[in-house]
Amino acid sequence: MLRLAGARLLDDRDYPAVRAALAADPVGSCMVSARVEAAGLDPWRLGGELWAADSRPVRAGRLTGLCFAGPNLIPLRGNASALRSFADRALRRQRTCSSLVGPAPQVLGLWDELSSEWGPAREVRGDQPLMALEGDPLVPADPQVRTVRPHELDRYLPAAVAMFIEEVGVDPRAGDGGASYRARVSELISTGRAFARFEDGEVVFKAEIGAMSARVGQIQGVWVHPDRRGGGLGTAGTAAVVNRLVHGLGRTASLYVNGFNAPALAAYRRIGFQQVGQYATVLF
């Protein structure tokens, strides 16, 4: 059994307890649930590790702390002691994650433990309402929003890059010329999870279903062309993606949004989204 500084690497013996922990908060845990449902707990297939603060396998009952360590560090649950154990384990290796993201109390608590070694952060977004919608949107969906087709990748990609730069503050093409980001966008398109409204061959609205578990789909990358903002395209377009999730895929629609983005918050509330939690993100 692998142990390091109190945080334990989970394995298949822990699967029932992990599934129970994820099921307790299906919206908040969607990003991790999607990975676990597809890959189990093996780190190679999972694309990261799942850690627990418990010192021994928990075949039944409740995990007191749970954290995913992969491209992002996602602490899903845990008190101060659990977060210290996760920080201890994280600090034994070189940082490879691009962000901390997840429930705000756990993210901000873990960042308190890590900031002296990993800081300063490029940005700390401590107020990100986590929102969900299980039924019909309250506004009409845009009938011109549809799934993006594989041959449309080159027309869709500039909008995806523009969204990423605007939202995250860095160019996703940096480092490898955009090969990895292009591959990620291509995967979303090929699996039917990228949506857009095209006008004269140009994307004027886009959004994607990022993580998708058996119960929840998380909408991401909502973007409207700068020349078309203020006309309701974002609201109607997002409603179309909600319809696809709720009626086409049988999932609860979810998303999280920066608290300072008042127009987006207002739009999501008009659609019918309600806040169900609070997220935070630390960007490196």
46-85 pLDDT, tens per residue? 999 999 987 665 555 578 899 999 999 999 999 999 999 9
Written as one letter, the residue type at 156 is: Y
Q: Give residue 221's region: left, alpha or beta (phi > 0; psi -120 to 50).
A: left
Tell me: do 115 and 152 sit in the same domain: no
Question: What CA–CA distance (Å, rounded) separates 87 from 75?
Answer: 10
Tell me: do 159 and 222 sit in the same domain: yes
Could you tell me if residue 104 is inside a domain?
Answer: yes
Helices 80-90 & 104-118 angle (0-180, nearest 10): 40
- 3-class secondary structure, 237: helix
Q: Where in the sequence is the domain holding 111, given as residue range(s)?
A: 8-119
Tell me: do 63 and 113 sit in the same domain: yes
Tell me: do 195 and 269 sit in the same domain: yes
Could you tell me if residue 182 is inside a domain?
Answer: yes
Question: What CA–CA distance (Å, rounded) separates 209 from 214?
Answer: 13
Among 82, 100, 119, the domain-final residue is 119
Tell me: do 109 and 191 sit in the same domain: no
pLDDT for the residue numbered 3: 41
Could you tell me if residue 54 is inside a domain?
Answer: yes
Sign of the alpha-carbon torsion through 239, 243, 246, 250: negative
Tell me: do 152 and 209 sit in the same domain: yes
Helical segments of the chain, H only:
15-23, 30-39, 43-46, 80-90, 104-118, 153-168, 179-190, 233-243, 262-271
What is the residue-level pLDDT of the chain in tens, covering all 284 positions? 344 447 899 999 899 999 999 999 999 999 999 999 999 999 999 999 999 987 665 555 578 899 999 999 999 999 999 999 999 999 998 999 999 999 999 999 999 999 999 999 999 999 999 999 999 999 999 999 999 999 999 999 999 999 999 999 999 999 899 999 999 999 999 999 999 999 999 999 999 999 999 999 999 999 999 999 999 999 999 999 999 999 999 999 999 999 999 999 999 999 999 999 999 999 99
Could you tell me if residue 130 is inside a domain?
Answer: no
pLDDT for the residue numbered 64: 83
Question: What CA–CA distance (Å, rounded) separates 277 from 280?
Answer: 10
Tell me: do 210 and 264 sit in the same domain: yes
- Structural domains counted in the chain: 2
Tell me: do 17 and 87 sit in the same domain: yes
Q: Are 106 and 126 in contact (CB under 8 A)?
A: no
Tell me: do 32 and 73 sit in the same domain: yes
pLDDT digits (tens, 9 = 90+) for 245-265: 999 999 999 999 999 999 999
Could you tell me if residue 59 is inside a domain?
Answer: yes
Q: Are 280 and 125 in contact (CB under 8 A)?
A: yes
Tell me: do 155 and 106 sit in the same domain: no
List beta partners, residue 73: 69, 100
> Which of 39, 41, 56 is closest to 3 using CA atoms?
56
